Amino acid sequence: MRYLNLGTVDPATSQAVYHAVAHAARKGDPATLITVKPNAPYVCVGYHQAASREVDRAYCEARGILVGRRMVGGGAVWLDSGQVFWHLVLPGFQGSPEALYRRFLAAPVAVYQAIGIAAEYRPVNDLVVGPRKIGGTGAAVIGGATVLVGSLLFDFDIRAMSRVLRVPSEKFRDKMVSSLEEYMTTIRRELGAQAPPEALVVRRLVEAFAALLAEPAVPDVLNPRESALLAHYRRRLFAPEFVYQGEGWQQPGVKIREGVRLLEGVHKAPGGLVRVIWRERDGRIDQFWLTGDFFADPPEGLEALSHAMAGVAVERGPLHAALETGFQAVRIAGVSPEDVLAAMQSATALAV
């Protein structure tokens, strides 16, 4: 197993590095494990989210907080130096996302248990200590490899995260803080002054992944191709046109002619929040975007689903039939056509 220890780097590098390594990977290459920590806080939205709905962009820009979009699903997250991030790049991996999580999340679970935290794996991709979640994980196919990402959560600024997210009211924000405090935990919360040094925990994680793969961990550095791709993804993942991609027509207040409505609906499915934003023209779907903090495989399958919805009459029967067709091109764990319809049924008009 190839091991890249980047140490502490700027936010853009910390997010871009696994995209670069995955896109440079070729079938037959060894697995690569990366560990990295950002030297400043930033926000990162999931690949399938509508960033303008999740992040308080004005607040972040006024305070110089970078906002990026990763090519892995899941929700918007606050990332800072209280977390050490790990990325396992697996060229040519064959297997379902569930099999990937079940096999490889055993490594961080073993590390937490070894330092005295009673962590467990909870399907599909959670690591928990009793009722509380400790860190987040996700996976995606990027370039020529499957990538599993996660973090060692030493500390977490709950109030900072609650402030960068877009919420309907300050009362809601207060409830978010109390919920995160109740259902999240960290290494330092669990162990206090007995928490081991970061370097020791990271070393144990490297050893745990090496044991799972039955391969020694061989220290290495980025090769020239990876370095070139790193420069590319540092720019792309944080470029506003990528972070807020395709959202111009979705903004409230955009003038729409008679007979055209812009609508948005949300629904909490087992696989995550489902948000549907669509434009109707004379009773038919004109534009359609399915977003949320779920994981879609393959990611580009959502585009095929959007194409399947174009021109469909806004009636339950035709909508359900089109969604069934669209879902043949994409697998979204814990999300079904019925969940999308439920989101659409909750819709409120944004502009008329």
- Other C-beta atoms lying within 10 Å of the C-beta of residue 141: 18
Fold entry, domain 2-240: BirA Bifunctional Protein; domain 2 (3.30.930)
* Average pLDDT over every residue of 285-293: 93
What pLDDT shows up at residue 253? 38
* pLDDT exceeds cutoff 60 at 248: no
CA pair distance 74, 49, nearest whole angstrom: 8
- What number does CATH give the domain 248-351? 3.30.390.50
Please enumerate in sequence order all residues whose Cβ is within 8 A of that of 94, keeping only pairs 6 or more positions apart, or say none. Answer: none
Would you list the domain boundaries of the chain?
Answer: 2-240, 248-351
Are 119 and 125 in contact by the 8 Å Cβ rule? The answer is: no
* pLDDT exceeds cutoff 60 at 349: no
Indicate the pTM of the whole model: 0.85
Bigger pLDDT: 264 or 132?
132
CA distances from 71 to 11, 46, 92, 142, 243 (A): 15, 7, 18, 7, 11
List the strands of the sheet with 66-69, edge to edge. Answer: 66-69, 42-45, 77-79
CA distances from 4 to 14, 243, 295, 302 (A): 12, 27, 26, 33
Query: In the block, which residue shows the tokens 């999240």?
Result: 184
220: left (phi > 0), else alpha (psi -120 to 50), else beta?
Answer: beta
* Mean per-residue pLDDT over the chain, rounded: 92
Do 2-240 and 248-351 agree at the fold level? no
Give the 3-state secondary structure of residue 166: coil
* pLDDT exceeds cutoff 60 at 254: no
* Average pLDDT over every residue of 325-349: 90
Count Cα neighbours of 211 within 13 Å in the Cβ-side half-sphere.
12
- Other C-beta atoms lying within 10 Å of the C-beta of residue 352: 11
